[in-house]
C-alpha cells in the first residue's frame, strides 16, 4: 500500500489531509473527533487578540445544484469568538494527546509588531507544529488592518512574515487571498519575508443570492446582509490555477504549498498535489458530510497511487507542473475532432443544438427511415469541427462523445512562431 505520510516544511503528518482553519477546528472537541476519524492534521481556527471577535446570526448561505447538492458555500463568520486563553490551553492538550498529528495554529493580528511579539511565544509553548498567517479573510475586521487588508499588499505580507520569523522558531505558513489580480506577487512577498510555505486559496468575495421578497442577500442578519467568503466545489478551478501559478513561477517554484479550495474527495486532492501542493486542506466537504469522509479520501488516494506505481506522495507531487504553460506556447498544429459513439447515443440532440446555435455548426442532424418510422441520428461534420469540446461537455452520456487526436502532419509550432501572428517575432523575443 502506498505511503501517504508527508513532511511539509518540516511538519510531519501521517497523511496529506488536513482540516482547514474554520468552524470544524474551533475547539478541542471537534479536533479530537477529526483525529479519531483519521485526519492527518488540522489548522486551528484563527486566533486573535482578546477580547475575542463577536459573530452575527445567521452566517452561512449556499448555491444548490441538482437534488440540493451544495455547489458553493458562503460564510460571513469571523475568526474564533473564544478567548485566547481557552484556545491556547486546548491546543496544548490536543497536541499532547495526539503527538503524531500535524497541528498548525492560524493567526490574525493587527499589522503592528508588538502583538505578534507577545503572542507568538505563547503559541509556540503549546507544542504546536507551525503557524498559518491568515492574510485572506475577505470580510470583517478590516478596520484593524487584518485579513485580506494585509494579503492584498505584498509589502505588508513581507513585513509581518519577517516579524513572525523573528519571534518564533515554528514553520510559518502564509495563507493567501484569491481576491487579488496576480497571486504570484503576494507569494513572492511571503518568500522574501522568510515564509516556510504558503497556503491557498482563502475564500472569494461573494454574494450567493437574494431574497427577492425582502430584497436582501443571504445570509440575512436582521434586514441586511454583506459580502462573504465563497468556498466549496465551485472554487476548485480558481484554486487549482492559483496553486499552479505559484508552482511554475521560477521565483517561487520551490516554495511548499498547502492546497485549499473545493477539495471533497481523493481525486481533488491528487489534482492539487500534481499541480504543486504538498498537503491539502479541507473545510466545506467536512462541514457538509462530516469528518469520516477522510476514510474514503485516504483509501481512494492510496489505491490510485498503487495503480499508478507511485510509492509515496513525493512521487507524483508537481508532476503536472511542467505540462502547465502559457497559452502562447501551446501547439497551434495540434488538432482533435469529435466522434459520436452511435451505440451509446440516446438521440437527445443536445450536441447538435449547442453546436448549431452557439458554436461551429459541426454536428449534423440526420433524419433516418426505419421499420418503426423516422428516427434521428447525429454525426460530426469533420471538416467543420474545430475540436472545441462543447458537444462532449453538453452530452449527458459519459463517454459517448470523445475528442480524437488527428495525425500530426505538421511539426510543433506555438503562437510566438506562427506566421499568422502579426507580432510573432516580437513575442518570440519577449519569451
Q: What is the spatial distance between Cα 162 and Cα 264, in angstroms, rounded to a whole number?
A: 34
Q: Cα angle vertex 220, ends 214, 225, to 5°?
A: 95
Residue 2: CB atoms within 10 Å: 20
Cα 395 from chain centroid (whole Å): 27
Cβ contacts of 387 within 8 Å, gap of 6 or more: 335, 336, 337, 338, 403
Which SS3 state, helix, strand or coil, does residue 260 take? strand
Which residues is 260 bridged to in the sheet? 281
Which residues is 17 bridged to in the sheet? 280
Catalytic residue among 9, 111, 137, 231: 137
Q: What is the spatial distance between Cα 64 and Cα 57, in angstroms, rounded to a whole number?
A: 21
Nearest to 156 by CA among 109, 108, 110, 111: 111
Q: What is the spatial distance between Cα 344 and Cα 242, in angstroms, rounded to a whole number?
A: 37
At 426, which helix (H) or strand (E)? Answer: helix 424-430
Q: Is 355 a catalytic residue?
A: no
Query: What are the CA-CA distances from residue 105 to residues 44, 57, 129, 137 (Å)?
Result: 5, 25, 8, 15
Nearest to 257 by CA among 183, 200, 302: 200
Q: What is the spatial distance between Cα 205 and Cα 210, in angstroms, rounded to a whole number?
A: 15
What does 281-309 look like in DSSP terms, one character per residue? EE-HHHHHH-TTHHHHHHHHHHHHHHHHT
Known catalytic residues are: 137
Amino acid at each position: 500500500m502506498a505511503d501517504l505520510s508527508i513532511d511539509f516544511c518540516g511538519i510531519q503528518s501521517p497523511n496529506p489531509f488536513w482540516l482547514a482553519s474554520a468552524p470544524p477546528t474551533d475547539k478541542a472537541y471537534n479536533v479530537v473527533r477529526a483525529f479519531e476519524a483519521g485526519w492527518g492534521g488540522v489548522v486551528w481556527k484563527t486566533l486573535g487578540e482578546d477580547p475575542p471577535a463577536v459573530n452575527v446570526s445567521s452566517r452561512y448561505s449556499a448555491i444548490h445544484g441538482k437534488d440540493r447538492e451544495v455547489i458553493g458555500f458562503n460564510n460571513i463568520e469571523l475568526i474564533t469568538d473564544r478567548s485566547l486563553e481557552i484556545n491556547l490551553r486546548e491546543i496544548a492538550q490536543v497536541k499532547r494527546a495526539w503527538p503524531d498529528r500535524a497541528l498548525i495554529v492560524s493567526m490574525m493580528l493587527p499589522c503592528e509588531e508588538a502583538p505578534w511579539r507577545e503572542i507568538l511565544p505563547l503559541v509556540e509553548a503549546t507544542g504546536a507544529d507551525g503557524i498559518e498567517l491568515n492574510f485572506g479573510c475577505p470580510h470583517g475586521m478590516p478596520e484593524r488592518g487584518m485579513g485580506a487588508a494585509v494579503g492584498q499588499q505584498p509589502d505588508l505580507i513581507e513585513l509581518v512574515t519577517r516579524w513572525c520569523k523573528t519571534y518564533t522558531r515554528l514553520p510559518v505558513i502564509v495563507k493567501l487571498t484569491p481576491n487579488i489580480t496576480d497571486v504570484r506577487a503576494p507569494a513572492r512577498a511571503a518568500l522574501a519575508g522568510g515564509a516556510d510555505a504558503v497556503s491557498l486559496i482563502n475564500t472569494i468575495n461573494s454574494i450567493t443570492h437574494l431574497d427577492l421578497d425582502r430584497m436582501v442577500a443571504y445570509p440575512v442578519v436582521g434586514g441586511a446582509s454583506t459580502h462573504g467568503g465563497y468556498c466549496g466545489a465551485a472554487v476548485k478551478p480558481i484554486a487549482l490555477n492559483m496553486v499552479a501559478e505559484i508552482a511554475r513561477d521560477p521565483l517561487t517554484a520551490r516554495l511548499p504549498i498547502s492546497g485549499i479550495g473545493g477539495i471533497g474527495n481523493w481525486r481533488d486532492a491528487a489534482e492539487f498535489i500534481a499541480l504543486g501542493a504538498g498537503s491539502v486542506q479541507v473545510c466545506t466537504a467536512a462541514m457538509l458530510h462530516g469528518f469520516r469522509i477522510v476514510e474514503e479520501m485516504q483509501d481512494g488516494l492510496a489505491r490510485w497511487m498503487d495503480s499508478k506505481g507511485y510509492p509515496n506522495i513525493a512521487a507524483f507531487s508537481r508532476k503536472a507542473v511542467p505540462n502547465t504553460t502559457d497559452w502562447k506556447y501551446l501547439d497551434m498544429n495540434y488538432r482533435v475532432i469529435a466522434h459520436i459513439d452511435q451505440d451509446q447515443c440516446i438521440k437527445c440532440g443536445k450536441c447538435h443544438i449547442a453546436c448549431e446555435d452557439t458554436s461551429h455548426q459541426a454536428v449534423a442532424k440526420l433524419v433516418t427511415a426505419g421499420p418503426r418510422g423516422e428516427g434521428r441520428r447525429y454525426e460530426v461534420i469533420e471538416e467543420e469541427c474545430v475540436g472545441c469540446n462543447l458537444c462532449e461537455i453538453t452530452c449527458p452520456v459519459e463517454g459517448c462523445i470523445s475528442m480524437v487526436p488527428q495525425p500530426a502532419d505538421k511539426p510543433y509550432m506555438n503562437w510566438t512562431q506562427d506566421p499568422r501572428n502579426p507580432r510573432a517575432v516580437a513575442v518570440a523575443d519577449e519569451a
